[in-house]
Amino acid sequence: MTAPIIDCEGLVHIYKTRELEVVALQGLDLTVEPAEVVAIVGRSGSGKTTLMNILASVETPTAGKVMVAGHDLVRMTETEREAYRRDVAGYVVQNPMANLVTDLDALENVMLPMTGVPKSQKVERAGSLLEALAITGVAHRFPGELSGGEAQRVAVAIAMANEPKLLLADEPTAELDQTTAAAFLRDVRALLRARGAVAVMVTHDHNVEKHADRVVQIRDGRTSTETRWREDQGTFVADEVLIMDRAGRLQLPKAFVERLRLRGRVRAHLEGDEVRIRSAEEDHE
């Protein structure tokens, strides 16, 4: 059985200041299998950004396990972290221009992260990435001369410059129209398949969700539901399931909790091969 590229178990992350403690992740579990594209969704403050920072090795979890392509992100030294950020995980931040150096052209920007590689090989690899992303025509344009879609494609090429196993992208289509976003996502998926890489993308865009293999929702610092989109006679249909963590815990959708007026204690019992849940308050009515 092939090992997952990403394996997170019981991730906890607490931000501490002199006055305050904020628990951003509360025992989060997540696996990403080879060749998968996973979209991460959730409300502001749910823990999405913290998860991305941990996967990028920008932050270290307070507790738990996180392995990426055989690298233990909890126990790495700072030197190992630098090598990991250079070679294993490519990161595209939300603002595409923030990924680019303004006084270098597109080709030079893609070549910039490559270290220990002969110049001829840098040029060849950068050109190949621009070609795969259908932007060979912008190779010698500077960032200020690029459209939003072109800048985002160059940003992906930069993130993939050292042939990483993992592409991280924060709201990659936030500044793109629907048509441009759909074409961008198709080309990025093709690039990932060709390079044998996986991707984790934070998004609020349903276009991204429909181009992902799985959509994982984070709520209150844990993975709560998982959606797989499938096309049925030209219409996208969502199959949603709850995620049970390794401790056997589930997060019920908020709509279920409100409709059944669940709070405090609840009762659960087996009925055949189903689990039935009801409010314990009913026992006192």
CA 113 to chain centre: 21
Q: What is the pLDDT of residue 29?
A: 92
Mean pLDDT of the chain: 89
% of the chain at pLDDT higher than 70: 94
Q: Which residues of 22-45 are buried (b: 16+ CB within 10 A; e: fewer)?
A: eebbebbbbbbeeebbbbbbbeee
Q: How far is CA 20 from CA 16, 59, 73, in A?
A: 6, 18, 26
Rg (Cα) of the chain, in Å, rounded? 21
Tens digit of each residue's pLDDT (9 = 90 or more) over 13-33: 999 887 888 899 999 999 999
Q: Of 148-152, 221-225, 261-265, which range is least confident?
A: 261-265
Is pLDDT larger for residue 96 or for residue 36?
A: 36
- Give the Cα separation of 174 and 154 in Å (integer): 16
Domain ranges of the chain: 6-250, 252-285
C-alpha angle 194-195-199 in degrees, rounded to nearest 5: 105
Tens digit of each residue's pLDDT (9 = 90 or more) over 77-114: 999 999 999 999 999 998 878 889 999 999 999 999 99
CATH of domain 6-250: 3.40.50.300
Q: What is the pLDDT of residue 72?
A: 96
Binned at pLDDT 50, 70 and 90, residue 283 comes out as low
Q: Which residues of 188-205 are buried (b: 16+ CB within 10 A; e: fewer)?
A: bbebbeeeebbbbbbbeb
- Give the Cα separation of 190 and 61 in Å (integer): 32
46: number of Cβ within 10 Å = 20
Q: What is the pLDDT of residue 256?
A: 75
Tens digit of each residue's pLDDT (9 = 90 or more) over 42-66: 888 889 999 999 999 999 999 999 9
Residue 189's nearest CA partner among 39, 14, 9, 89 is 39
Yes or no: say if 227 and 243 are a contact pair by the CB < 8 Å rule: no
Q: What is the pLDDT of residue 234?
A: 67
Tens digit of each residue's pLDDT (9 = 90 or more) over 172-191: 998 889 899 999 999 999 99
- Give the Cα separation of 224 and 258 in Å (integer): 16
Q: How are strands ordered across the β-sheet holding 71-72?
A: 21-32, 6-16, 63-68, 71-72
